[in-house]
Amino acid sequence: MFDMTFDEFCDCLTASQPPAELKSALAGLWWDARGDWKQAHDRAQEGEGSDAAWVHAYLHRKEGDDENAAYWYRRAGKPVCREPFETEWRRIASDLLGLAPPAAHALRQS
């Protein structure tokens, strides 16, 4: 893991590519915030372990594929989320960055 705050992560969403040092799971969230579900899914699939599985679950839930999402939540060791997508996105990003979840505010998207 590298040192980045939640705000710094959101600020980097204006770049054309995610920072090279992002692990696959965080890169998946980066692409999702940019509105590119396919690229987000591809990056999440590159990763291994519970972090990538959690992002994978979130993406399939967002896609509307609840059965596939439930499978990935189990793989991640997480309960199926029923919160708004933006709330879950913030929770996952904060956790993967090693931070407490930030206060609710709109994501900064380009």
What pTM was estimated for this model as a whole?
Answer: 0.86
**Number of domains comprising the chain:** 1
Is residue 26 a part of any domain in this protein?
Answer: yes
Is residue 52 a part of any domain in this protein?
Answer: yes
Is residue 66 a part of any domain in this protein?
Answer: yes
Is residue 31 a part of any domain in this protein?
Answer: yes
- Arithmetic mean of pLDDT, 36-47: 95
pLDDT in tens, 70-82: 999 999 999 999 9
pLDDT in tens, 43-70: 999 988 999 999 999 999 999 999 999 9
Is residue 72 a part of any domain in this protein?
Answer: yes
Q: Which domain holds residue 72?
A: 6-11+22-96
**Which pLDDT value is given to residue 29?**
97
Is residue 103 a part of any domain in this protein?
Answer: no
Count Cβ atoms within 10 A of the Cβ of residue 96 and give its class: 0-12 exposed, 13-18 middle, 19 or more buried. Answer: buried
User: How far apart (Å, rounded) are the C-alpha atoms in residues 96 and 16?
Assistant: 21
Is residue 102 a part of any domain in this protein?
Answer: no
Is residue 16 a part of any domain in this protein?
Answer: no
User: How far apart (Å, rounded) are the C-alpha atoms in residues 74 and 106?
Assistant: 28
The average confidence (pLDDT) of the chain is: 89
pLDDT in tens, 19-30: 998 999 999 999
